[in-house]
């Protein structure tokens, strides 16, 4: 039964030309929210945080579905589910999240506000909210550091904080290269068999 459902001939998207027309459908929920926000802005103001979190969950789940579908559409495989590729992507995501959380916990334990200085002008209420949520601040600093985004709003104040930032940046850069190498290696091994 599973083989019949996942067989290339029975798939919903028959060729890649249709995929480019279907992909924009991912934007429908956010466009609907934009319309609702225009009609009833007070609703979005009262549920601001919940709407944000729901949208983050939606786009993460949708991106995984799109990735799996893209591999399926553009590969010559007869089956839809590419477990090996999805396992590699999930492993990469897991390693990334674990590394970011590790550094965030480290920054939080050592008092993120003594390690880093905020060089942005914020309203006093926003600055107070940041100080009340030191772990979320630590997650933010760790994420922008690991991804080498480095937005420049948080500057290391101590030599150990600088060393921590350097080590996290190096891990982020190396991990990206290793991820690409693993994908190429996995693809080459599949071709050999």
Mind listing the pLDDT tens digit for each residue in 110-147? Answer: 899 999 988 877 778 778 888 888 899 999 999 999 98
Q: What is the mean pLDDT of the chain?
A: 78
Of 52 and 66, more confident: 52
Rounded to an integer, what distance in angstroms lies between the CA atom of residue 92 and that of residue 179? 7
- 82-193 topology per CATH: Helix Hairpins (1.10.287)
Question: Residue 192's pLDDT is what?
Answer: 46
Question: Residue 193's pLDDT is what?
Answer: 46
Cβ neighbours, 10 Å, residue 161: 20
Asked if the model's pLDDT at residue 67 lies above 90, the reply is no
Rounded to an integer, what distance in angstroms lies between the CA atom of residue 105 and that of residue 124? 26
Residues ≥6 apart with Cβ < 8 Å to 140: 154
Question: Residue 25's pLDDT is what?
Answer: 77
183 and 88 Cβ atoms separated by less than 8 Å: yes
- What single string gives the DSSP state of each residue in the chain? -HHHHHBGGG-S--SHHHHHHHGGGGGHHHHHHHHHHHH-HHHHHHTHHHHHHHHHHHHHHHHHHHHHHHHHHHS--SBS--HHHHHHHHHHHHHHHHHHHHHHHHHHHT-HHHHEEE-S---HHHHHHHHH-HHHHHHHHHHHHHTT---SSEEE-SHHHHHHHHHHHHHHHHHHHHHHHHHHHHHHHHHH-
Which token pair is 21? 């027309």
Residues ≥6 apart with Cβ < 8 Å to 15: 73
Mind listing the pLDDT tens digit for each residue in 166-183? Answer: 999 998 888 888 878 777
Q: Where are the domains of the chain?
A: 1-81, 82-193
Asked if the model's pLDDT at residue 73 lies above 70, the reply is no
Question: Residue 39's pLDDT is what?
Answer: 92
Mean pLDDT, rounded, for 83-94: 74
Of 151 and 6, more confident: 151
């Amino acid at each position: 039964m599973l083989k019949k459902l996942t067989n290339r001939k029975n798939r919903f998207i028959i060729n890649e030309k249709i995929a480019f027309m279907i992909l924009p459908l991912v934007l429908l929920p956010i466009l609907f929210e934009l319309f609702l926000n225009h009609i009833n802005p007070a609703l979005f103001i009262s549920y601001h945080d919940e709407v944000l979190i729901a949208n983050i969950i939606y786009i993460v789940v949708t991106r995984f579905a799109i990735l799996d579908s893209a591999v399926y559409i553009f590969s010559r495989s007869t089956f839809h589910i590419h477990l090996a590729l999805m396992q590699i992507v999930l492993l990469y995501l897991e390693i990334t999240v674990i590394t970011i959380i590790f550094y965030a916990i480290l920054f939080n334990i050592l008092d993120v506000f003594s390690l880093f200085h905020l060089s942005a002008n914020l309203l006093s209420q926003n600055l107070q909210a940041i100080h009340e949520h030191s772990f979320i601040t630590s997650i933010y600093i760790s994420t922008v550091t690991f991804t080498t985004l480095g937005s420049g709003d948080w500057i290391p104040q101590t030599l150990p904080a600088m060393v921590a930032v350097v080590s996290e940046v190096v891990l982020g850069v190396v991990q990206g290269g290793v991820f690409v190498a693993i994908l190429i290696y996995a693809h080459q091994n599949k071709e050999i068999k």
